[in-house]
């Protein structure tokens, strides 16, 4: 039988966790809580390493492509994430309070609450250094390697990045369903799981709508700058959108995105440069999802949610997700550090946002790659080209 994907495994884990929390013996819940503690401590230990494994090679690689075209493309991609992340904040600030009861869930319950189970044992795992230290080291090394063209160091950080990707793909992701099972078992035992499921079913509907409004806006801007009909562009990119929904990977969707971008008439050289680059640096859909889910979780906890605290977070998202690995949930794994350091996420909150993000990762990825084609149209115009589908006829499949 074909191996189940991560999303089906997470759904099964959530259902099993709820059943265990509602009907299972307390000792099973305690065992899962113990595992959660160990896994959460391990995750906290590796977060600084994950940041370094993503950001250093990402910045170093961008430096080797130095040039006007890179600066323009990276600037547009980053601006797209900041704009749509900020719009998401204001939209969700209006909508979320309508169906979220602020402070309805205690993610860090005290021993006095009566429905709290303690882990069987604990094993602290202190990180080598803080998230802030990891970010500073990453910027220094990434920019430095690019500046001195340090091929030896560049090879070393890429090998380190490969190790981190293996760590995520072979350890973190396989154990994640057990972790999520424990989180939902504990919430079901405490009686808060119905609130979480009800809340996030509504959040997801809003997120999907925001994704499509974002795609429409991106192609409207692309058409205003580069010419053509935005809805014709959306129709052309739809096969790539559906491919991304199926693969959950911007990288795996690149061939289809390129083919559809050729059909829009973008110069082949521009498309060949912009699409693969944006597949790693442009994650507007992921930014929308992470902003929405994190706001909902903080509101459920009873935390104050202000634009002053979120705007720096949105600015940092565009940096920390550079070159996020091609595994499901790569963007949220890259964002864990700043979720903790900038928004004050605790281990249960971190586990919940991972589950929520992966549950819609297909649609976030589809939004990401759709916007890549819009950026290609804009860069095409800035570079002095007109949209000319006929010129790409021999490259279109």
Segment 130-145, tens digit of pLDDT: 777 887 888 788 888 8
Q: pLDDT at position 39, please?
A: 87
Mean pLDDT of the 44-51 span: 83
**In angstroms, rounded to a whole number, what is the distance separating the alpha carbons of residues 287 and 284?**
5
pLDDT band at 356 (very low <50, low <70, confident <90, very high): confident
* Mean pLDDT rounded to a whole number for the chain: 84
149: burial class by Cβ within 10 Å (0-12, 13-18, 19+)?
exposed
**In angstroms, rounded to a whole number, what is the distance separating the alpha carbons of residues 298 and 315?**
19
Which H/E stretch holds residue 136? helix 131-148
Lowest mean pLDDT segment, chosen from 64-68, 303-307, 316-320: 64-68
- Enter the pTM of the model: 0.80
**In angstroms, rounded to a whole number, what is the distance separating the alpha carbons of residues 292 and 286?**
10
**In angstroms, rounded to a whole number, what is the distance separating the alpha carbons of residues 136 and 138?**
5
Angle at 235 between CA 229 and CA 238, to 5 degrees: 140
112 pLDDT above the threshold of 50 = no
**In angstroms, rounded to a whole number, what is the distance separating the alpha carbons of residues 337 and 320?**
9
For the chain, report the end-to-end CA distance as a whole number of angstroms: 33
Angle at 273 between CA 268 and CA 275, to 5 degrees: 90
Q: Which residue has the tokens 């080598």?
A: 128
Q: pLDDT at position 309, please?
A: 84
Q: What is the rounded (10 degree) CA torsion for 55, 58, 60, 64?
A: -160
110 pLDDT above the threshold of 70 = no
Cβ neighbours of 59 (radius 10 Å): 22
Per the structure block, which two tokens stand in for 85? 């992340």
Kindly give the residue spans of alpha helices, DSSP state H, lying in 283-383.
284-301, 307-320, 330-343, 347-359, 361-382
Q: Which residue has the higher pLDDT, 325 or 362?
A: 362
Which H/E stretch holds residue 42? helix 26-64
Residue 183 near residue 354 (C-beta atoms within 8 A)? no
197 pLDDT above the threshold of 90 = no
């Amino acid at each position: 039988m074909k191996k189940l994907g991560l999303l089906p495994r997470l759904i099964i884990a959530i259902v099993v966790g709820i059943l265990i929390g509602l009907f299972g013996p307390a000792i099973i819940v305690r065992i899962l809580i113990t595992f959660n503690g160990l896994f959460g401590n391990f995750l906290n230990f590796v977060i600084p390493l994950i940041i370094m494994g993503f950001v250093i090679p990402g910045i170093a690689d961008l430096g080797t492509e130095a040039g006007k075209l890179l600066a323009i493309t990276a600037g547009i991609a980053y601006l797209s994430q900041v704009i749509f992340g900020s719009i998401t904040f204001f939209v969700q600030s209006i909508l979320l309070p309508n169906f979220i009861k602020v402070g309805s869930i205690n993610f860090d319950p005290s021993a006095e609450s009566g429905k709290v189970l303690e882990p069987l044992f604990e094993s602290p795992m202190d990180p080598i250094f803080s998230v802030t230290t990891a970010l500073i080291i990453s910027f220094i090394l990434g920019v430095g390697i690019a500046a001195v063209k340090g091929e030896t160091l560049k090879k070393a950080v890429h090998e380190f990045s490969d190790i981190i990707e293996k760590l995520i793909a072979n350890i973190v992701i396989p154990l994640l369903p057990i972790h999520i099972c424990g989180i939902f078992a504990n919430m079901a035992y405490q009686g808060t799981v119905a609130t979480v499921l009800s809340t996030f079913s509504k959040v997801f509907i809003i997120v999907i709508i925001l994704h499509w409004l974002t795609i429409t806006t991106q192609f409207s801007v692309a058409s205003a700058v580069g010419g053509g009909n935005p809805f014709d562009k959306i129709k052309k990119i739809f096969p790539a959108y559906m491919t991304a929904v199926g693969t959950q990977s911007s990288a795996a969707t690149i061939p289809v995105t390129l083919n559809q971008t050729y059909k829009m008439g973008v110069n082949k050289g521009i498309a060949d440069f912009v699409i693969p680059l944006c597949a790693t640096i442009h994650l507007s859909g992921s930014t929308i999802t992470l902003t929405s889910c994190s706001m909902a979780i903080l509101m459920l906890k009873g935390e104050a949610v202000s634009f002053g605290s979120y705007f720096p977070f949105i600015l940092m998202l565009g940096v920390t997700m550079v070159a996020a690995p091609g595994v499901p949930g790569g963007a949220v794994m890259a964002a864990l550090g700043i979720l903790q350091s900038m928004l004050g996420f605790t281990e249960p909150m971190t586990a919940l946002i991972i589950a929520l993000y992966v549950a819609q990762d297909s649609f976030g990825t589809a939004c990401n790659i759709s916007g890549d084609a819009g950026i290609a149209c804009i860069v095409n115009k800035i570079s002095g080209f007109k949209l000319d589908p006929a010129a790409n006829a021999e490259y279109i499949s």
